Structure 1
Amino acid sequence: MRWLIACDKFKEALSAQEVCEQIARGLQQADGLSAFSIDCCPLSDGGDGFLQVMHKAGGSQWQHSTCHDALLRPHEATWLWLPNEQTAFIEVAAAAGLAAIPASKRNPHQSSSYGVGELIQAAIKQGARRIYVGIGGSASHDLGLGLAAALGVRFFNHEGNTFIPTAHSLYEVERIEMPANSLPHNCHIVALCDVQNPLTGVEGAAFTYALQKGFSKEELPQLEAHTRQAIERIATVCPHAREAACLAGSGAGGGIAFGLHVFFDAPLMAGASWIAQRLNFGARLQQADVVITAEGKLDRQSHFGKVTHFVGHEAQKQGKLCVAFCGTCEVSMSEKLPYDYVCSILPAPMSLEEALTQTAQHLQAAAFQLGKLMTNDKLRGLFLKK
């Protein structure tokens, strides 16, 4: 039996590679007759862990650059350089990530994407012809105006002073000046979006993701209003800004995807799909009998471009059995999910802290149980008939 394990990280617990390895270990322990062939394919949607997944694919070198974190403090971040392709991979979370800031110091109102622009500058100095920016895990909701400022776009308030806009000061943008040449003519940026939400609206960045950055529920309507006000100002220099705010993926990274698109003509691509293609996922899926994917929390946000949803849909297209492991499942079973089975890995109710520290053994145990089921001829038959 041929297994494909295609998973993203479990946030705050295991990397994508570690998730795949723990599931593989459980299957191997269940495979007394050595009848299993296991292919581990760590994936990413462009968020936290994007660089690790791409580095494992080979051909890249780690680079270290000094930039500013989301709170504009000096910070050293890593990115990847592919010399044979003159290509750079940059992870928003590495420069302006929420996870890098202790919970007690997080301030979504003042958080900025400025450091992402500094990493793009570093890649340009390295000679990059193409820069892929993995967008996700950001601490900011600044529409990418911070990174634009780092790359030469100037923002003025009503007093005529330049400043770096954050969520708190989006409404203060009065005038915008574009640089003569923001990017070298032979350099192109591609935005790899971890979600497919638009920037504005009920499924936009403010109403869907601002709470997890630290905004209160009461602040969301005002945040949405300030976002729309900033878009109107941006439209004075980027006429397609209003339309761009409605594009799938433009809400990724608190609007960083939007900023890359309107200021630097970056196409918005679904991160999970692009990364999977780069890792030859389609051909590997064709060879599999059973696919396992996994996510810490399977919820409504999973439907907006997350790895589990992507893997499930691709498995459906090829008629492959797909099993989704999760820590918690917050989707209704009446919803049409792209999985044949959804299995919680938790053996009993427990706190989040306990679940995070025991993620590895829980994944391994769940995979062992699934593997044992598939080694029993009668049970395997019932399982595969679903």
Structure 2
Amino acid sequence: MKLLIAPDSFKESLAASDVCRAIQAGFCEVFPNANVTLLPMADGGEGTSEVLAFALGGSWHEVLVHDPLLRPIRARYLMLGNKTALIETASACGLPLLASIERNPMLTSSFGVGELINAAINNGAERLIIGLGGSATNDGGAGMLQALGMKFFDGKGQLLKTGGGALIHLARIDSGDFALKDIPIGVASDVINPLCGELGASAIFAPQKGARAADIIHLDNSLSNFASVVCNHGYRDFQNAQGAGAAGGLGFALLTFLNAQMQSGFEIVAGSVRLAEHIKNADLVITGEGKLDAQSLMGKVAVGVANIAKAQNKPVIAICGGVDNAIYSQENELPFDVILPSIQHLDSPDIVFASTFDNLKTTAKNLAAALKLSNTLA
């Protein structure tokens, strides 16, 4: 049996490479002679740099930046041989950088992302690929722009405070020494949400970042005001562009101020690691992600892998942490032959996250046992 294991990371639990190893460990307890290929995947969010470093090589560079609460931390970016720097926004403003009690998109800032961009350019980068996803912020990329030299003022002429909530008071923008428009920037993201509204950054993503119901309304109004002020200053209106709402609105800032080009993060990674070729050589494909839900259907890793597998008539199984039953709606045509949640029993989130490797291993072992049994009954 030729088995391809090609999952995404499990957010806040395991890197994609560790997910691969957990599934392999369980499966090979039943099929020890299986020919297994491990192919960690990503979609532009957390883990993208590691996956592309695995496929393309390059060198890591660590720099001092500020986290979402503006505390100094060490973050890194990947410099490829063609002077392209790959920056994951999550490394500077990611949700895992904050304890649960600290998560508040009213206050958090994307400032560290701008610092990473500056560092890469100062190190000779001539092109940037910026992976969006996993952010703890909802500031429309204002923090990133501040780190790049822009200044934001309220109606009283005072410098605006950081955080998504403060944008409600934005009245004026000073571009200052901002001058990055000549540097090609590709944005790797599979989020297609606009900046504002029912499908916008605040409504869809802010709750998982710690926003309460009242915060969500405030944040959406703040981003709407940000977009209005931007347009009043003569910039093109990108608030309804696909991906503008990615990473708490970072997509909007990158499109508006840096002339960035949105690209499918999954397609960038899939092409780099030759996913289609590996699927062609496999008898069975196993993919997965932390939670299979409505967002998965918008081009995330598990569905992307499964679509390529189905196009080649290969069986594909998804092993996930949890599964939202809403995806089984008749409106959704799921490309998986089997979907398996891996959480073995209810417990606190901390314990569930800490048990992810063992849960995946157990689920993969049970899957392999079922396959072996089906062969004896066929």
| SS of 2:351 mapped into structure 1 | helix
Deviations 1:180-216 (A, max 9, x none): 661273x211111252222222111111011111110
Give the match for residue 356 of structure 1: 353
Q: For the residues of structure 2 that align with 1:217 and 1:274, how far apart are their CA atoms? A: 35
Q: Is the 8 A contact 1:88 1:128 kept in 2?
A: yes
Q: For the residues of structure 1 that align with 2:84 and 2:181, how far apart are their CA atoms? A: 14
TM norm structure 1:
0.91
Q: For the residues of structure 1 that align with 2:127 and 2:147, how far apart are their CA atoms? A: 18
Shift of 1:178: 2.8
Q: Is the 8 A contact 1:373 1:379 kept in 2?
A: no
- The aligned runs of 1:274-293 (5 Å cut-off) are 274-293=268-287
Q: For the residues of structure 2 that align with 1:52 and 1:369, how far apart are their CA atoms? A: 29
Find out whether 1:48 has 2:46 as its counterpart.
Answer: yes
Give the match for residue 236 of structure 2: 240
Q: Which runs of 5+ in 2 are unaligned?
A: none
Give the match for residue 169 of structure 1: 166
What is the aligned counterpart of 2:146 among 134, 149, 152?
149
Give the match for residue 5 of structure 2: 5
- The aligned runs of 1:1-386 (5 Å cut-off) are 1-32=1-32, 34=33, 36-82=34-80, 84-163=81-160, 165-179=162-176, 182-183=179-180, 185=182, 187-241=183-237, 244-332=238-326, 333-334=328-329, 335-376=332-373, 378=375
Task: Give the aligned residue type for 1:248.
Answer: Q
Shift of 1:240: 2.4
Q: Is the 8 A contact 1:145 1:164 kept in 2?
A: no
Deviations 1:302-334 (A, max 9, x none): 223321122122222222211111122113323
Deviations 1:134-184 (A, max 9, x none): 111111111111111211222222222333552121122212233566127
Shift of 1:41: 0.7
Task: Give the aligned residue type for 1:201.
Answer: G
| SS of 1:133 mapped into structure 2 | strand
Using the TM superposition, name which of 175-184 and 187-196 deviates more: 175-184
Computed over aligned residues only, the root mean square deviation of the Cα atoms, in angstroms, reads 2.0
Task: Give the aligned residue type for 2:68.
Answer: A
TM norm structure 2:
0.93
How many residue pairs match? The answer is 375
Q: Is the 8 A contact 1:238 1:263 kept in 2?
A: no
Q: Which runs of 5+ in 1 are unaligned?
A: 382-386
Extract structure 1 runs of 4+ deviating beyond 6 A. Answer: none
In 2 relative to 1, CA 337–269 (structure 1 residues): closer, same or farther, beyond 3 Å? same
Q: For the residues of structure 1 that align with 2:216 and 2:356, how far apart are their CA atoms? A: 33
Deviations 1:84-129 (A, max 9, x none): 2101111111111121122233332121111100100000001111
